[in-house]
Amino acid sequence: MFTIRPASLLCMNMAGNYNPPADHQQSVKTIRTAFENGVRFFDTAEVYGPYTDETLVGEVLQPFRDQVKIATKFGFAIDGAVALDSRPERIKKVVEESLKRLRTDHIDLYYQHRVDPNVPIEDVVGTIKDLIRQGKVLHFGLSGASPKTIRRAHAVQPVSAVQSEYSMWTRNVELNGVLKTCEEL
């Protein structure tokens, strides 16, 4: 007999993005149970809640921070507007806020949540590269990026992860070149 252990926990729905927020104590129990069962990678974002999901993840994982990896995301204007905002000055501001909410001195994997067409990807990645040099971020990822954007970003700073929808309902990454680009890089 063998045991299958889950690799990661996406904490998004605890903050209620697609549904009402989950009960706080139930969310705490879910994250702790995941950790107790071998999960060591937890995924969140500043926009989930907004902010409340990062706060929850930071609260629950603080006692185990040295044993887990945390991914979070930036890139939305969270000011009542429905917009993207990956300007370098905003990234520098929101990384500090995420670090505080997550109760940590570094983010293991920092994703650009959605590519901002108003900011050259080279400017975004240059800012992340500086955060990596400072030790605030360890790895950079892209979510929902095209092959062209992945290549442009990777030319500035290695892209460690690409997050794309890939399921029984959509196999677009097989057709649009994202998987091929990731394999090549």
- Kindly list the catalytic residues: 48
Backbone angles phi, psi at 89, to 5 degrees: -65, -35
Sheet of 107-112, strand order: 8-10, 41-43, 69-74, 107-112, 137-143, 161-163
Q: Is 51 left (phi over 0), alpha (psi -120 to 50) or beta?
A: left
Peptide bond into 50 cis (omega under 30): yes
Token look-up 């989930």 returns 48
